[in-house]
Amino acid sequence: MEKAKSLTFLQWVDQIWLEGAKFTFTEFPWLVEIYEDESQWVIVRKATQLGFTTWAILRCIYGMTTKYTRGVIYFMPTQKNVTDFVKTRVNPIIMSNPHIVVDETDNVTVKMINSVPILFRGMRTNIALKSAPADCVVFDEVDEADPAAVEMAEKRMSASSFRHRVDLSNPTFPDYGVDRAYQESDQRVWSLRCPVCDKWAQPDLHFPHELGKSVPCIGRKKSGRLYLRCEFCRGELDPRASGQWVPQFKSSHRPHGYWMSQLTRPQVDLKKLLHKYQTTELPQQFFNLDIGIPWVDSENKLSEKDVLALCDSTLRREKSHEGPCTMGVDTGKHFHYVITTWNKARTKRVLVTAGTVTSWRDLSDLVSRFGVTLCVIDAQPLIHDTKNWIQAHKPVAYGIYFNEHQKTKAKWDD
């Protein structure tokens, strides 16, 4: 094998064997660009069976072979996931490629490749997250991870000059996990050039996000044959033709985010996919795994009307209050706050004031001026600063993580 350090990632994978055959992009043309992507943070919100997991594994091994010295940590939700993943996905790649030099330390959780360690860890326990430094961290199925665990894991790269991060997952709920990260990225969508109007069509963007709707990106010929339809001229798209990733936001400040569904892959069976959409009794599974988008039943959403029914409609905009008051804070570029108290009959919450401030000091001033006895503040995305502020306002302030798919009961304690 040619000296690895002189090879680009694309040149390196050209010498890789997978499942008894030479590595090729023939069945996965959408992967070429992501194999060329050397950005620091890459986010993949995906449907299943699109080749992204293999890319993540090979990216780690390539880095260990060419430039990493501190190592790689590959995170999965649980240690049981780790065991299955290493045995079925990682070990076969190593066994098929004898030029990947694996040292004697070789087990399910630790491998030394080119004298650089790669650790495979579950994210459900803090003990597994406090160990080794790293140049690269991969969060595989990041939607299954505790956000606090993700923050702790990312700190493993604090001393690295690379700090490469990959978030890879089938999405679950809107604005959570990989979907939240994707929304903050440049939002690349796999696009196909229409042979009729010569525009770059994006069928994934036009697939409905709820059941019972027509599907404008799938057309039907008089013969009954289904085809992928251009949103501009209704011409027929060929998913086997060359495509490209088109970002929705052209910004050098955003991480690179990729989203692709089963809809635009060359092997797609449109008849089967459409039938599944029209008949599925498991819509969340369909949207998450086949379309690669988050989904929640509209009947289970908490509506604005539901919230307002429990509140007084008058906003007094008071400058201070003797309390006791409660305050909710959403963090971001500014701090959005809402302060409430009980009405005299203690039947409804009365909105005392609401607005935005721009500093932690201003937030502390609100606690004092309004007699706040309980404050709940969004722990993300400013996790470190938020923890420090909460610590300074014990026992009034608490951080909150949103985890809609929590499998155990909520825990309320100090």
Give the residue-averaged pLDDT of 392-410.
74
Instruction: Check: CB of residue 138 under 8 Å from CB of residue 86.
Output: no
Terminal Cα-to-Cα distance of the chain (whole angstroms) = 57
Give the residue-averaged pLDDT of 366-375.
93
Q: Hey, which residues does 337 pair with through a beta bridge?
A: 329, 355
What is the number of domains present in the chain?
3
- Put simply, whether the predicted model's pTM sits higher than 0.85 gets the answer no
Give the Cα separation of 102 and 96 in Å (integer): 12
**Domain end (from 142, 169, 196):** 169
Instruction: Mention every residue, 6+ apart, whose C-beta is less than 8 A from residue 269.
Output: none
pLDDT, tens digit, for every residue of 281-317? 999 999 999 999 999 876 666 666 666 666 655 556 6
Name the region of 397 (left: φ>0; alpha: ψ -120 to 50; beta: rest).
beta
* Among candidate residues 222, 359, 329, 261, the one with its CA nearest the CA of residue 48: 261
Q: Domain range holding 356? A: 304-400
Instruction: Check: CB of residue 396 under 8 Å from CB of residue 329.
Output: no
Instruction: Check: CB of residue 235 under 8 Å from CB of residue 229.
Output: yes
- DSSP at 311: B
Element (H, E) at 364: helix 360-369
> Does 412 reside within a domain?
no
Instruction: Band the pLDDT of 77: cuts 50, 70, 90.
Output: confident
Tokens 């970002």 found at: 247
Mean pLDDT of all residues in the chain?
88
Q: Are residues 275 and 347 in the same domain?
A: no
**Domain end (from 255, 285, 300):** 300
- DSSP at 157: G
Element (H, E) at 149: helix 147-154
Question: pLDDT at position 333, please?
Answer: 75
Write out the two tokens for 227: 């085809």
Question: pLDDT at position 80, please?
Answer: 85
Give the residue-averaged pLDDT of 73-93.
91
CATH number at residue 340: 3.30.420
pLDDT, tens digit, for every residue of 110-136? 999 999 999 998 876 555 556 688 999
pLDDT, tens digit, for every residue of 138-186? 999 988 877 777 877 888 898 999 999 999 999 998 888 899 999 999 9
Give the Cα separation of 119 and 15 in Å (integer): 24
> Does 17 reside within a domain?
yes
> For residue 273, which phi and psi values (nearest 5 degrees)?
-65, -45
pLDDT at residue 108 is higher than 90 = no
Tokens 């289970």 found at: 300
pLDDT at residue 337 is higher than 90 = yes
pLDDT at residue 1 is higher than 50 = no
